[in-house]
Amino acid sequence: MSNPVPPRQKPEQPWRSEGAPEPAPTPPPKRKLPGGWGGLILTALIVYLIANLVLSFFGDGDEPTISYTEFNKQVDSGNVSKIYSKGDAIQGQLKKEQKDPDGGDKYTKFKTQRPEFADDKLWGDLTKNKVTVTAEPVVQQRSFLSNLLISLAPMLLLVVLWIFIARRMASGMGGAGGMLGRKQPPKPIELEPGKKRTTFEDVAGIDEVEGELNDVVDFLKNPDAYREMGARMPGGVLLAGPPGTGKTLLARAVAGEAGVPFFSASASEFIEMIVGVGASRVRELFAEARKVAPSIIFIDEIDTIGRARGGGSGMGGHDEREQTLNQILTEMDGFSGSEGVIVIAATNRADILDPALTRPGRFDRVVNVSPPDRGGREAILKIHTRTIPLADGVDLAQVARTTPGMTGADLANLANEAALLAVKRKQRVVTQSDLSEALEKVQLGAERPLVMPDEERRRTAYHESGHALLGMLQPGADPVRKITIVPRGRALGVTLSTPDADRYAYTEEYLRGRIIGALGGMAAEHVVYGVITTGAENDLEQVSNIARGMVARWGMSERVGRLSALPNDAQQAYGLAAAPGTLDAIDHEMRRIVDECYESACRQLRDHRPQLDALATALLQNETLEETEAYRVAGITRLTKET
């Protein structure tokens, strides 16, 4: 089994590294506050002055200053309850609220100033009118410290808020999805000795690809020998192939074989909303890789950012995706260079990549990783069952023969499904039966507990018997492996046909046989019941795809000619790659081929009606017929052709 994908060392890094340990912690760089300390001090001073003005306004507004004449008048009238004097300054409080004749406002507490030239008998008047002379001020004033603390409160709140925002911005600059990308300098790292790495021993079924990558491994191990001959290190290797064929595992195996650090990331992890973040992350990733060069950078799904430019993107050449692509192009082959760093990229859509990315000097090699052949599938199954206890007599070669077209990921899933099934059955080992049922689940879908009416069950039996019988009768057709009317997935019944050996090129006769076999279910319903049901929906999709390929892509039509009228997949906008007349010709030829095949299917089923009835009857009794039993019931000799 392959080693698990290494975790990210830091959450803000969009890549993972292998063969390079965690860097030693270093103190974070000093961060400067936005605007500097000068701006903070100036703002605090302004806040302080405004607070003092507000406090003085509210603090002095309740105790009016009255004239000394008015004060004497209130003393004589006996309306003063108490006073406090410090020097010639007098504070006091009235018994009853009075209106200031000068200011017009009503007051109870007051302040006044005794003139120095006054020669009145103030003490006698106070004593006469029983005015209390207090030892504490009547109007309590806040101390200087209290005023200072109150006025500084808004400033302290502003400082705390300022520092909080500054730290958030500084951490945002280092976080994934931050506003400006990581700013701290990359930290040096050293190789980690002794840790088990993924090697070519963990990769199987792709020997021809492994041979091409061995050159890269040898270059990384012996760079001096190549430099003496004037050969330069390849800038990049592009792994192109269907999903699940082991492209990521291959890249890790190259790094493990060469014993160099391995940095891996998905192309989508470089992209953020803010323009420039992706380019910044690319620069930092290459800087990290250069520090421990020779090293390998692996970018998965590079078509996310490597699509051909000028395709009508929203912001032309200035959007985030194109800036990230431009930075990768510059790092791989440009003014900065990347001596000692090899970039390995993987994609499922090599046809849409930008030409500047695939030219020599950048991705020097394009390696096509195809699904494994039969021997490769057997080797892959052995790798994925190393930790699974297998029963005696388990034949992995037989499983490999019945799984054409499966990728390494499919086979790993198959082995895991078999192990899960064995656990569910409380077994201690995985048997051949577990592998067979797991294969049926993967290929056909899980069984559904669906109870069908007898008439519909009978029609389904004839439908599947039509598929199977035509598959047996067509010369060169794929052998029928299994027939079942047990509902699986979305289908009410399934007929499984797989070749004895892997096929890489198909003849027109074989493709017509495939169409006839796919139309067998509909033809059987038409021959037996005289009706057509919706059960042939998936069959018609297969027929349309095969017929369209024969006419428009593979030159198997005299009318359309030997040309590729629809070079792209039919999943794209149908009709944009050909003229209207050509499209009409394609439709006409597709209908002609399908009609001829349907007539042939109906004719063969009428000619072999007893065999069709026998298969349907056996299916109604047993629900499932294996390969040997199906051929015996149909009375047809199966010609084996092992390779």
pLDDT (0 to 100) of residue 250: 84
Q: Are both 306 and 393 inside the same structural domain?
A: no
Residue range of the domain that includes 551:
454-634
- Find the helix or strand (DSSP H, E) in which 590 lies: helix 580-607
Number of neighbouring beta carbons within 10 Å of residue 103: 12
pLDDT (0 to 100) of residue 600: 93
> Is position 363 within any domain?
yes
The yes-or-no verdict on residue 592 having pLDDT over 90 is: yes
Q: Are both 288 and 354 inside the same structural domain?
A: yes
Mean pLDDT, range 431-437, rounded to an integer: 87
Select the more confidently predicted residue: 66 or 178. Answer: 66
Select the more confidently predicted residue: 529 or 336. Answer: 529
Tell me: is residue 247 an annotated ligand-binding position: yes
Tell me: is residue 355 an annotated ligand-binding position: no
- Of 489, 485, 482, 491, nearest to 454 by C-alpha is 485
d(CA 402, CA 404): 6
Q: Are both 513 and 630 inside the same structural domain?
A: yes
The yes-or-no verdict on residue 547 having pLDDT over 90 is: yes
> Given 389, 414, 444, which residue is the final one in a domain?
444
Highest mean pLDDT among 100-114, 360-374, 569-583: 360-374
Retrieve residue 276's tokens: 């420039």
The yes-or-no verdict on residue 367 having pLDDT over 80 is: yes
With cut-offs at 50, 70 and 90, classify the pLDDT of residue 44.
low
> Which sign, positive or negative, has the C-alpha torsion 542, 548, 551, 554?
negative
Tell me: is residue 539 an annotated ligand-binding position: yes
- Domain holding 116: CATH number? 3.30.720.210
pLDDT tens figures, 135-163: 666 666 656 666 666 667 777 777 778 77
- The pLDDT > 70 percentage for the chain reads 77
> Given 334, 351, 368, which residue is the final one in a domain?
368
- Domain holding 398: CATH number? 1.10.8.60
**Helix (H, G, I), strand (E, B), or coil: what is residue 99?**
strand
> Is position 37 within any domain?
no
- 610 prior amide bond cis, ω within 30: no
Retrieve residue 367's tokens: 């390696």
> Is position 5 within any domain?
no
pLDDT (0 to 100) of residue 151: 66
Total domains in the chain come to 4
> Is position 55 within any domain?
no
Tell me: is residue 502 an annotated ligand-binding position: no
With cut-offs at 50, 70 and 90, classify the pLDDT of residue 313.
very low
Left (φ > 0), alpha (ψ -120 to 50) or beta: where does 140 sit?
Answer: beta
The yes-or-no verdict on residue 241 having pLDDT over 80 is: yes
- Of 460, 470, 475, 512, nearest to 607 by C-alpha is 470
Q: Are both 115 and 225 inside the same structural domain?
A: no
Q: Are both 405 and 513 inside the same structural domain?
A: no
Q: Are both 378 and 431 inside the same structural domain?
A: yes
pLDDT (0 to 100) of residue 128: 73
Tell me: is residue 235 an annotated ligand-binding position: no
The yes-or-no verdict on residue 414 having pLDDT over 50 is: yes
Identity of the amino acid at 343? V
The yes-or-no verdict on residue 438 having pLDDT over 50 is: yes
The yes-or-no verdict on residue 458 having pLDDT over 60 is: yes
Q: Are both 481 and 614 inside the same structural domain?
A: yes
Q: Are both 393 and 501 inside the same structural domain?
A: no
With cut-offs at 50, 70 and 90, classify the pLDDT of residue 416.
very high
Highest mean pLDDT among 34-43, 85-94, 608-617: 608-617
Indicate the range of 30-34, 267-271, 528-532, 535-539 predicted with least confidence.
Answer: 30-34
Q: Are both 397 and 535 inside the same structural domain?
A: no
Longest Cα separation, the chain: 146
Tell me: is residue 242 an annotated ligand-binding position: yes
> Is position 145 within any domain?
no
Q: Are both 290 and 314 inside the same structural domain?
A: yes
> Is position 562 within any domain?
yes
Tell me: is residue 61 an annotated ligand-binding position: no
> Is position 8 within any domain?
no
> Given 423, 444, 465, which residue is the final one in a domain?
444
d(CA 248, CA 298): 8
Tell me: is residue 588 an annotated ligand-binding position: no
Tell me: is residue 463 an annotated ligand-binding position: yes
- Domain holding 248: CATH number? 3.40.50.300
Q: Are both 409 and 262 inside the same structural domain?
A: no
The yes-or-no verdict on residue 120 having pLDDT over 50 is: yes
- Of 299, 28, 65, nearest to 182 by C-alpha is 28
Which residues form the catalytic set?
464
Highest mean pLDDT among 176-190, 488-502, 515-529: 515-529
Q: Are both 386 and 527 inside the same structural domain?
A: no
